[in-house]
Structure 1
Amino acid sequence: MLEGFCYKWLQSKNSALTSSLGKDKIDVDAICGGPPCQGISGFNRFRNKDNPLQDEKNKQLQVFMEIVEFLKPKFVLMESVVDIVKFAEGYLGRYALSKLIHLNYQVRMGMMAAGAYGLPQFRMRAFFWGARPNQKLPQYPLPTHDLVLRDVIPVEFEMSTVGWEEGKKIELEKKLLLEDAISDLPSVGNYEDKDVMDYDNDPKTEFQRFIRLIREGWKL
């Protein structure tokens, strides 16, 4: 048992909540979260390489695991930057995997790039799936779009990259670039004083049409 502050706090709150619901315990289907990445981000020049979990910025990962341990959901999904497997030889990524295994979860880690699913940016992220032994461990969605590749994954975690079977010919959608996202924006001069501006032309790509639908209140 972790028995940290969060775990003890949950115990006290759980007693009151379950009493009000007339239940012995709360039945949780899934917990999804993304603990803050400031402690492992490459932009942080003061990262604790020797003992990452001693850094206050990384303790939310432990809190996340305390919540999982206490509520025992059927499924767990955690997201983080790729630095979780790059920084300090992947210390925190290995911690997350081992902790879920210790809590008796089936575990799967996958690296997914937003650009491979139709967004005009690379943005690689690490996703950790956990499922109780009596549940089916979910698969990751396979890429739908081509993208501009960047070398960001450590060799020892390359096999965790979500992708189609090597050698299999797949016809992917065309990659989206910055132009596909912002080429319809109005020009802004050096002395522009407007905080909000209207579009002055029609959308040029499907992505731009989609973004405008959201901006105009269209519901998915």
Structure 2
Amino acid sequence: MKPWILGLTGGIGSGKSAAAKCFSELGVHTVDADHAARWVVEPGRPALLRIAEHFGNHILQSDGQLNRAALREEIFHHPEQRRWLEALLHPLIGEEIIQHLALAESPYAILVSPLLIESGQHQLTQRILVVDTPEHLQVQRTIARDQVSEQQVQAILQAQAQREHRLTKAHDVLLNDRDLGWLESEVRRLHDFYSNLRGDQS
């Protein structure tokens, strides 16, 4: 029986990573889209060679790794360069995600992605779980975690899918407005439900 795929998403500071960790500890195979995005640009991978050819070798560090700060600088000021980069990387990231999801041996597998809906990655999933948090808590948690200003958090919130839009796509919503113990109990409840679902019912 092939595992079905659950998409797990949520805004910055919502606790989606903490929720994903809880699922993982229950034995669910999880694949993080952010990790896949890093894997495709590792040294020796074709994408990194293409990026260096396109932008020049200053985009590489002395050890051959991608210089992320330099790349961010290139695409921040030039939207057409960002589109070029996305056109190169998105299909590769999609392939990487599919390969890693295919290794799942649990009844269902989870694709964790902050941009699940915006990137179209939700098309790889049969069901969507949104970890949702009131905005004031998102801001508080992100400032505490990343040591950034409230303005920076607000800018990221604006760039991510608007909360209402994300919620309209959700099959399930986990309201994460309490402590970690609450989150763990909610994940266990959902895990019991998901473990009994078959792909065609999801």
* More RCO (CA 8 Å, sep 6+): 2
Which TM-score tier does this pair reach, normalised by the shorter chain?
A: 0.3 to 0.5
Q: TM-score, normalised by structure 2?
A: 0.33
> Which structure has the bigger radius of gyration?
1
Q: TM-score, normalised by structure 1?
A: 0.31
More helix by share: 2
